[in-house]
Amino acid sequence: MPPKTKKKEADGADDKYMRAARFGRVKNDLKMGFVGLPNVGKSTLTNLLAGACHAEAANYPFCTIDPNMVQAIVPDQKFKYLANTWKPPSVVPAALKIVDIAGLIRGAAEGAGLGNAFLSHIAAVDGIFHLVRAFESDEIVHVDDSVDPIRDLETIQYELCLKDKEALGKVIEKEKDRIRKEKGIARTSDPPLSETFKSAYDKCMELIESNTPVQTYADFSLGEVDLIRDFGLITTKPQIYVVNMSKRNFLRKGNKWLPKIQTWVDEHGGGQIIPMSCEFEQDLMDLQDDKEAQKAFIQECDDEVKKMGLTGPGFAVKSVVPRLIRSGRQSLCLQSFYTAGPKEVRAWTIMKGTLAPQAAGVIHTDFERGFIKAEVANFDDFKALHKGEKGMAKVKEAGKYRQEGKTYVMQDGDIVVFMHNTTGSKKK
């Protein structure tokens, strides 16, 4: 059994995502990766998220030999509003990097299939879309000859945990080597490990042996998190479960496997589950150049749903692709701030909690080095006050245009002008 989590009040969504990302790299250029068995829809979905066929999608277990990376444009109504307001010649939206990793099979940790190479590809991404197949098809073979998402979840999770168990087997000696070097003692000595290290190691091992991702455990101390971050464990990465269903099941928002998948996820630390259908999304994407045809397709699907006797907002037919992109970005604790003017409107990606000088550095390192202040407007204030003007005059008149210093924590959707001074040479 995994270590028990202390009972707490329900965390807010932001706390949940911050907890999931606490072991990750502190960078603005993070990547999500699709992980799953062969022929579950990874390449197709990667293509859909990118809006173009960047990965070879074929009915062959190892058609994606090298990880394919695409950039998915982040759906962002605030950015769209700013672009429509200024109508500049240059418009640069935020994008999420997504890696299509070839399928794992049972025994991958020991080298089966394409084995350890793919596990290293998984280790190189910062978050995981765990894709499972919940649709039947005679045309698309299953590597295990039958459709069983629970078995597939067990297979992938087992392989990831087995790889983490292998990594954990090396961290004790690595920590002892660090202590010997730090204290200048002989390599033959057996230095004692700190209580924090032993606690972190024991909790991780208990989770991994129960086939539970390490990142789902809420009660690690800050000291334990700092140590675990250096363990190099795959299951510390944020993970989103994506269930690929048939078009019909997607439209009726039901599938015999969904309750079982929910139970399995809850028993393995919990997590976000997103049901979708590559079949539906591909049909919709194929009509992207004909908006009227797309509209007719959605109406046809709506009519099909009504014929099933299903009504209400919960059965509205729409693409899940925007939700997938936003969820992946949110799981990595990424957010946007904007720069807007007559020449360009751009969304810049930063991590949640970034201070103003570091945000300025995303635009140019000189901006961070010579940071003076940030002039900031909240997007909602701008939208409510600008009255069609391409500028901040009305926002300033209303007292909603702020000047912020070096300790300001950037908020999602800030519209910013950074003031900086880098005319002098940097002192050495």
Give me 236's structure tokens: 């510390």
Bridge partner residues of 130 (DSSP): 35, 241
Segment 56-95, tens digit of pLDDT: 444 444 444 455 788 888 999 999 999 999 999 999 999 8
Arithmetic mean of pLDDT, 184-197 = 88
Question: What is the rounded CA–CA span in Å between residue 406 and residue 54?
Answer: 41
Contact of 132 with 242, CB cutoff 8 Å: yes
Question: What is the rounded CA–CA span in Å between residue 421 and residue 411?
Answer: 24
Task: State which H helix or E strand residue 366 sits in.
Answer: helix 365-369
Q: Is the pLDDT of residue 54 over 70?
A: no
Give me 188's structure tokens: 């033959």
Q: What does the pLDDT read at residue 147? A: 86
Segment 259-281, tens digit of pLDDT: 999 999 999 999 999 999 999 99
Segment 114-146, tens digit of pLDDT: 456 666 788 789 999 999 999 887 666 566 668
Contact of 128 with 35, CB cutoff 8 Å: yes
Average confidence score pLDDT of the chain: 85
Place of tokens 């999304």: 281
| pLDDT band at residue 427 under the 50/70/90 scheme | very low
Q: For residue 85, which of 425, 373, 392, 314 has the smallest C-alpha distance?
A: 392
Neighbouring CB atoms inside 10 A of 9's CB total 5
- Residue 110: which residues within 8 A CB-CB, separation 6 or more? none
Question: DSSP characters for 196-217?
Answer: HHHHHHHHHHHHHHTT--GGG-
Segment 145-174, tens digit of pLDDT: 688 999 999 999 988 898 899 899 899 999
For the chain, the helix, strand and coil percentages under 3-state DSSP, each to the nearest 5: 45, 15, 40
Between 103 and 320, the more confident residue is 320
Q: Is the pLDDT of residue 335 over 80?
A: yes
Arithmetic mean of pLDDT, 313-336 = 92
